[in-house]
Structure 1
Amino acid sequence: MITRRDFLIGGACVAALGVAEALRPRTQITLMPQQPLTNLVPKTIGPWTLGEGGDIVVPEIPGSLTDKLYADTLTRLYINTKTGEQIMLLVAYGQAQSDILQLHRPESCYPAIGLAIGSRRNDDIALGGGASIPAVALTAGEGIRMEDIVYWTRLGEFLPRTAGEQRRNRLETAMDGIISDGVLVRASTLRMGPEASPAYDRLNAFLAALVRAVPANSRPGFIGTERAKALVTRI
């Protein structure tokens, strides 16, 4: 005998099936050009130039989380030819949108290696003409070693600043049946002691110069289509 409870359970199963089907991605959208990041990111960015030795090669560990989740990574040290100041750049690219950027957000990975987050704020990297990138500025460190960091993430056409925004953006794209690529762009610099002022403005200026130095047809891969179009009209 079929009871009312059976109907409720059956209805719930059908509803779950409908949601699962709606969330099943069907279309891959890729904004990043299919070239190695080392070819896309200029070696000279305004007064900043790639340090001696070129790209920093981080050994790949087969089966590691980074190996599984990122299609390409770029790690470089840039030196200001006028002041001698140094900035570390990390770009990590994933072909399929997932939790990769959340797992590798500095708020998560720095504490995991014993470096506490001292401060965090939302920031905007001004590109000129009113265009900007929604970013995050934070400081991580222990003792006298302080690392100032500015970064942004792009997932599809979204640039989420928090894990909550990222989950919401992923749901929106999944509901549209889309699998998107994603990228994390992070710049950081070291300062000795908490008494010195954070270098957020310097990092913002470097990242803005980086975006402007990237060829126009490659910028959507870093900042999304609309911002890339707006930047072209404003430069």
Structure 2
Amino acid sequence: MKKSLIPALAAAVLMMSAAAVATVMTPTRRIVDILPKLDIEASIPQRFGDWQIDTRSGGGVVNPQQTELLNKIYSQIVTRTYVNSEGYRIMLSIAYGEDQRDGNQLHYPEVCYPAQGFQVISNRKATLETSLGNIPVKRLESHLSQQRYEPITYWTTIGTQALTGGTTKKLAEMRYGLRGEIPDGLLFRISSIDRESAVAFAKQAQFVEQMLPALTPDVRARLAGL
């Protein structure tokens, strides 16, 4: 064999090997087909604890993109406004996607709020402590033209693991991919129109604390990783 052909043959072998490995490692099994079916609209009670759906609310929940794009990214979207006995309102938005590969990633509030004209003035990680366990969250402070002040608490789940997004979310997706599985993903967001961020975050924590026991265990695991 001519020496000039050896490098070319070696390169061909390496390319075929890489292709074979890529084929083997390409996820093919969706975990949404393994886990219990999730129907978010039916699973979230309209009333729990001191909270009930505000039937007089005219909306106000910020959505990140136009409906056409939202429907492409997410398979389920639930937006509601709840009110308690004091008249305090919490806006809930849950966006769920069955396939969290690169073309179908969740869209985070620190990206979608500025796209709607808001200014995000703080963004920090925190731990939301509940009687059923702790949830890693992000807390944002935002305002629209210094008129609508809207503190936000959110987290994401991949399968049944709660995360704050970013690197931890990508690592979780990679772990599923190494098992040949395609993960689903969910973004759970609550916010309230309130100039007092400390008050807003306390009310949002109370909202989650009272909501979690009202969910079935399988739904609670998917929504909050608990």
Q: Report the TM range for the smaller structure's normalisation.
A: 0.7 to 0.9
| Post-superposition offset of 1:35 | 5.2
Larger displacement relative to structure 2 (135-144 or 180-189): 135-144
Partners of 1:43 and 1:105 lie apart in 2 by 25
Alignment deviations for residues 10-58 of structure 1 (CA, whole Å, 9 cap, x no partner) = 35423532442243113222277535322100111211110115896x9
Larger displacement relative to structure 2 (196-205 or 97-106): 97-106
Aligned letter for 1:141?
H
Matches within 5 A, 1:1-235: 1-4=4-7, 6=8, 9-10=11-12, 12-30=14-32, 33-34=36-37, 36-52=39-55, 64-81=68-85, 83-99=86-102, 102-128=105-131, 131-142=133-144, 143-192=146-195, 196-198=196-198, 199-224=200-225, 227=226
Any gaps of 5 or more consecutive residues in structure 2? none
Aligned letter for 1:17?
A
Could you tell me whether the CA contact under 8 Å between 1:45 and 1:206 is conserved in 2? no
Q: Percent identity?
A: 28
Partners of 2:58 and 2:42 lie apart in 1 by 11
Structure 1's 147 and 175: CA in aligned 2 closer, same or farther, altered over 3 A? same
Could you tell me whether the CA contact under 8 Å between 1:123 and 1:137 is conserved in 2? yes
Q: With the length of structure 2 as denominator, give the TM-score of the two structures.
A: 0.83
Q: C-alpha root-mean-square deviation of aligned residues, in Å? A: 2.9
Could you tell me whether the CA contact under 8 Å between 1:97 and 1:156 is conserved in 2? no
3-state SS of the aligned residue for 1:126? Answer: strand
Structure 1's 97 and 186: CA in aligned 2 closer, same or farther, altered over 3 A? same
Alignment deviations for residues 60-100 of structure 1 (CA, whole Å, 9 cap, x no partner) = 977x221112111111000012x111000001111222357
| Post-superposition offset of 1:208 | 2.4
Any gaps of 5 or more consecutive residues in structure 1? 228-235
Q: With the length of structure 1 as denominator, give the TM-score of the two structures.
A: 0.80
Partners of 1:45 and 1:72 lie apart in 2 by 22
Matched residue count: 218
Could you tell me whether the CA contact under 8 Å between 2:125 and 2:137 is conserved in 1? yes
3-state SS of the aligned residue for 2:207? Answer: helix
Could you tell me whether the CA contact under 8 Å between 1:55 and 1:74 is conserved in 2? no
